[in-house]
Amino acid sequence: DAGVIQSPRHEVTEMGQEVTLRCKPISGHDYLFWYRQTMMRGLELLIYFNNNVPIDDSGMPEDRFSAKMPNASFSTLKIQPSEPRDSAVYFCASSSHGGQGGYEQYFGPGTRLTVT
């Protein structure tokens, strides 16, 4: 298995531009998570999906952020317009059916976003 795949690995953009981050979860996993990691705030959960449906988006910072999961093998996180404070490493993770007790999450390599 290739694991969770994220693209691009690095993104440098100017303030005001639209940024789209992409994620392919592990095949068969029905949960997908988007996280943001910064030195100041640590690792924050932005949104997660179950069977392609958004379950909890309470961590999405503001309306400039949106996430979609059109099918079981693909998700996007979009920032429009981007701002310098969005600079961070964005991780996608997936896990299989949680049931009672939950299961471990498998993380992608991350996308390092720099907004100038």
Q: Which residues bind other proteins (CB under 8 A)?
A: 4, 31, 33, 42-43, 45, 48, 50, 56, 91, 93, 95, 98-110
Question: What is the C-alpha to C-alpha distance for residues 69 and 75, in angstroms, rounded to an integer?
Answer: 4
Q: Provide the total of helices (H) and of strands (E) in the chain, helices listed first.
A: 0, 11
Please, what is the minimum distance in Å from the beta carbon of residue 68 to other proteins?
Answer: 19
Tokens read off for 29? 């996993």
40/63 with CB nearer other proteins: 40
Identity of the residue, 54 or 81, whose beta carbon is nearer to other proteins in the bound complex? 54
**Least Å distance between CB 29 and other proteins?**
11
CB-nearer residue toward other proteins: 15 or 97 = 97
Q: CA-to-CA distance for 34 and 62, rounded, in angstroms? A: 15
Q: Are 6 and 110 in contact (CB under 8 A)?
A: yes
Specify the residue, 50 or 81, whose C-beta has the smaller distance to other proteins.
50
CA 36 to chain centre: 7
